Structure 1
């Protein structure tokens, strides 16, 4: 199922993308008198019963095709695919060729850092280039969305704890990131984690480590790879993190970026993001996430 969040009358609403448009889950559930979740986190936390209710609402809405609860996708304003993650955990240097392009040693363990909810943004948003940085870089990444409480899970069972996946642009202010040994400052500026456009359930995605992944800037391809190049794959990441902290439904994990980032170029060829740049992250089965950069003044 392709889920999304959209804005309507200053509210964030849950939608399901279907062949006939976006089903407004709350509106359709009200018409059909079905007790279904109206919020993405309520859906994730509700488990199989909540998913079954949302699926039933979407199926009935598609059958009846009423404009009362079906909206053309072109008419919606997107919200972030995950609106209030309890944790935003990131894995650094997790693609072999990306580590090589930055002359970094291949990690022996996942390199973990975190972001915060101030970084959350949506497909179609304008993201500010902070005035305190001149070196903002793009990073196409696959996001894991946790579906149930996870602690000490074995690798063989880890994918069963994943609700779904989405795109993220892990924007990075390299001059701030490299100022100290801790990366947090350069990763946590406002709007630096656009998520979306969809949250696609795990059953629809299949193997998360066989997905084409790319980034374009103003239509020019900057990154083109596959999630198979990950050093630590999705099940290894989920299992590893769960050994040290309990993962909760709605937590998200950013799994690293492939080669092609600005930082990987020779210094005389580095062209960082600038005012007006349009950046698109696209991962197979997950759609395309686009934001426009604007210089903060």
Structure 2
């Protein structure tokens, strides 16, 4: 199943080049009062909503994918958890390029752990990355991302994949500089998720997935998740030792070698096998 959020917060099922509007399923979400529970209510309720979703897919209004504005598939993640230098070749390029490391020591993921990105930096595939610091290098970083579907703490690797609600493409846009990662990577529009959420039953095993980022037809990044230092299972186990994971939390698994600057006017073509592709524009303001 491929679930998207589009236009004015409509929810849809993606079927080929069409989207079936299933927004009526939102009426089944439980009522809440302040203080509101953390996390994404739709993701939390997804298992119970599946029968209604299957009913609505037969009656919902249909749109062409090309005619809608795709938003982030997850509306309200409580946390965006990111894995730094999680591919060996990216670690090597970061250590070799002073424009990336700015004179600081680039540590391994084992040494520096995970970091968090601001949820306010999140946009969807149909929105635009704003690169407005002409005095700084701003790089693209494509990543496989996944969304947590159930509350979890102290998860073992053996059953970690059972906590995943779905997978999506991510862009971790990054201004190079001496500041902390979470500051440089949390500017507005610097976290792109999309184009839709693919449920695990359709996506399959995330341990050997090809992905690629191109600009103007030229490959910038191309890799396979088999080369992750911490794979999806290990990331969940590692993070859940420190954090309580909640429905809607997003993991960004890390980017491979090939990070490079973007310029206003660029279109980032991002593809991950089992998910599809998205084209994301960059503008100056």
Retained in 1: the 8 A contact 2:69–2:127?
A: no
In the other structure, the counterpart of 1:249 is 247
Retained in 2: the 8 A contact 1:90–1:254?
A: yes
In the other structure, the counterpart of 2:123 is 121
Retained in 2: the 8 A contact 1:91–1:110?
A: no
TM-score between both structures, scaled by the size of structure 2: 0.87
In the other structure, the counterpart of 1:286 is 275
Deviations 1:100-128 (Å, cap 9, x if unpaired)? 22235644357311111221111132211
In the other structure, the counterpart of 1:268 is none
In the other structure, the counterpart of 1:199 is 197
Aligned residues: 267
**Counterpart check, 1:14 vs 2:6:** no
SS in structure 2 of the partner of residue 145 of structure 1: strand
* Partner Cα separation in structure 2 for residue 215 and residue 110 of structure 1: 26
**Counterpart check, 1:273 vs 2:262:** yes
* Partner Cα separation in structure 1 for residue 238 and residue 15 of structure 2: 35
* Partner Cα separation in structure 2 for residue 147 and residue 167 of structure 1: 17
* Partner Cα separation in structure 2 for residue 20 and residue 215 of structure 1: 21
In the other structure, the counterpart of 2:153 is 151
User: Which range moved further: 124-133 or 77-86?
Assistant: 124-133
Give the alignment of 1:1-297 within 5 angstroms. Answer: 1-7=1-7, 11-19=8-16, 21-27=18-24, 36=28, 41-58=40-57, 60-61=58-59, 69-103=61-95, 104=106, 106-108=108-110, 111-131=113-133, 133-175=135-177, 179-180=178-179, 182-262=180-260, 272-296=261-285
User: Which range moved further: 115-124 or 15-24?
Assistant: 15-24
Deviations 1:200-259 (Å, cap 9, x if unpaired)? 011111111211111111221100110111000001100111111100000101110011
* Partner Cα separation in structure 2 for residue 192 and residue 151 of structure 1: 28
- Unpaired segments of 5 or more residues in structure 2? 31-38, 96-105
Flag the 1:72–1:107 CA change in 2: closer, same or farther, 3 A.
closer
SS in structure 2 of the partner of residue 108 of structure 1: helix
In the other structure, the counterpart of 1:65 is none
Flag the 1:140–1:226 CA change in 2: closer, same or farther, 3 A.
same
Query: Aligned Cα RMSD in Å?
Result: 2.2
* Partner Cα separation in structure 2 for residue 116 and residue 144 of structure 1: 17
* Partner Cα separation in structure 2 for residue 141 and residue 107 of structure 1: 15
Flag the 1:132–1:20 CA change in 2: closer, same or farther, 3 A.
closer
* Partner Cα separation in structure 2 for residue 79 and residue 137 of structure 1: 22
Flag the 1:186–1:24 CA change in 2: closer, same or farther, 3 A.
same
User: Which range moved further: 189-198 or 132-141?
Assistant: 132-141
Retained in 2: the 8 A contact 1:133–1:173?
A: no
Question: How big is the shift at 1:19?
Answer: 4.3
* Partner Cα separation in structure 2 for residue 14 and residue 153 of structure 1: 30
